[in-house]
Amino acid sequence: MLLQMDCNSAQLNTVPKKRRANYTGSNNKKGGRLTWGRDVSDFIDDDEFGNRSTSTGYEPKYVTMTTEAYKMANMQSKGNKRDTRMQSSRQSLFIPHGASSSQLDLTNPFQTPTLANMEDGDMTTLGTDLISDKAIPQPPISWEPFGYPLVHTMCLVTCYSEDEEGIRTTMDSIATTDYPNSHKLMVVICDGIITGAGNDKSTPDMCLGLMEDFVTPPEEVQPYSYVSVAQGAKRHNMSKVYAGFYKYDDNTVPPEKQQKLPVLLIVKCGTPAEAASAKPGNRGKRDSQIILMSFLQAVTYNERMSELQYAMLKAIWQVTGIMATFYELVLMVDADTLVYPDCLTHMDAEMVKHPEIMGLCGETKISNKRDSWVTAIQVFEYYISHHQSKAFESVFGSVTCLPGCFCMYRIKTPKDYNCWVPILANSDIVNKYSENVLDSLHKKNLLLLGEDRYLSSLMLRAFPTRQQVFIPKAACKTVVPDKICVVLSVSRCNLSLVLNWSVLWCCLLPLHLPCTF
């Protein structure tokens, strides 16, 4: 398969021994502390990145969650206590050294009477005894291998009925990007218990087979209820949350190139009433995105969480050792997409250096362009849609459609120190994107045929002064249909979607935006 060949032939960096997937040592001592002051030699072998690891006198140029925490810690050490609440909520990524989880039992807040009255309190950390001994230590804040402060990024992979080779190719490409694995978390969401054509295992079983070192044995994981984006009885759905690390195949990625990567797997398993149905738990890609977006909303606004959301929060803490509040960006890819090794570096650089950017996309190339004349004729269409249409819209900062197969959104953006504005986690965005009553053909066109364009347009309408741009340096490859009937069907859907959105843009777009379509 061409995607697999490209993955093997990509120029991947050699990973330091302590950060490889096959490293057998322990990164975290139970009850100890993961700090941002680790020796930089644990993260690089030499100074090839122009390392600036000396923390003395370090002044970050850009505002991120970690640089803000660094400055708050410095302010406290100098005796500046002008804002006690700010220091307590932002001071540290982790529980202070020597702290015991018994001081605040957060292992199960739904059964802890003490926490029932903590609606207005900030939950800054969980117990250190919950952290996996395989968790990756955080590098020094001053380590800037690419010339800007590193930001914690989630990589969302939505799966449906893909084969194992396609899923592994996507996960391999994300895991081997040259962005440090201490700042990457792969979130995989399986849209129901589905067995694709030609597969001998269901998609969730294939994803579980690509994980190892589970923090909780898979057979002990319990399903949690949540409200899905559906109607009627399907409004109620259930999901399971697994946490562990990515399991490589030495035949696709050499051991010296394998980064240890934490993985959060969410499987929509459905209710017991639909266990015998053809597609238990299946609610669509938009529902999968809403699971993550509503979780980020609860984390950002410090809202009361559901059991599923708390299970996600706890799982992230267990495999990474940091709280979900420190994640600022979400990379969204489909399960049949291969991302280039440097894509995450370029995309994160734009986000860090330009806080006004709330979303961006890279170039999507065709991996199977030589399979037939049908795939060959789509190359020009893909190229024009990116380097002409999206490039033109990007000049005005108003790319109207960030493709769901390869795009990045900002969870929240810094306005000033200790002042963050929710973007993707904004309550208005989440509420409008999770609309479940589709009582007209117009709404069905918008929400069922093109959720990617719908989300991008919601962002532009909610934040008209912010930007969505196209980054040609970031690239990916994907598989396109090789049958003309499928291509024509997709084109018809796209045309219908564009016509419906043209009506909305003409009526609702703020007049001061120079580019509308």
As given in the structure block, the two tokens for residue 488 are: 């024509």
Distance (Å, whole) CA 360 – CA 339? 15
pTM of the model: 0.84
The pLDDT profile of the chain, 517 residues, written as one tens digit per residue, is 444 445 444 577 777 776 677 776 666 544 343 444 444 445 444 444 344 444 557 888 999 999 988 888 877 766 654 444 444 444 444 433 333 333 333 333 333 333 333 344 455 678 888 999 999 999 998 899 999 999 999 999 999 999 999 999 999 999 999 999 999 999 999 999 999 888 899 999 999 999 999 999 999 999 999 999 998 899 999 999 999 999 999 999 998 889 999 999 999 999 999 988 989 999 999 999 999 999 999 999 999 999 999 999 999 999 999 999 999 999 999 998 999 999 999 999 999 999 999 999 999 999 999 999 999 999 999 999 999 999 999 999 999 999 999 999 999 999 887 889 999 999 999 999 999 888 777 777 777 777 888 899 899 999 999 999 999 999 999 999 888 888 887 777 776 666 666 666 565 555 444 444 4
Question: HSE of 108 in the Cβ direction (CA atoms, 13 Å)?
Answer: 1
User: Which residue stretches of 249-372 are H helix?
Assistant: 285-301, 307-320, 343-353
- Give the integer Cα–Cα distance in Å for 90 and 323: 11
> Phi and psi (nearest 5°) for 67?
-70, -30
For 168, the token pair is 């592994």
Q: Tell the residue number behind the tokens 């307590």, with chain if given.
A: 88
Q: N- to C-terminal Cα distance for the chain?
A: 37
Sequence spans of domains, the chain: 1-352, 354-517
Number of H helices, E strands in the chain: 14, 13
pLDDT at position 505 = 59
- The pLDDT score that the predictor gives to residue 104 is 34
pLDDT on residue 109: 36
Residue 447: the pLDDT is 78
Integer angstrom CA distances of residue 449 from 167, 366, 404, 453, 491? 23, 21, 12, 9, 11
Backbone angles phi, psi at 382, to 5 degrees: -65, -45
| Structure token pair of residue 87 | 């220091």
- What is the maximum alpha-carbon separation in the chain? 70
CA distance 229 to 431: 11
Residue 358 main-chain phi, psi, to 5 deg = -105, -15
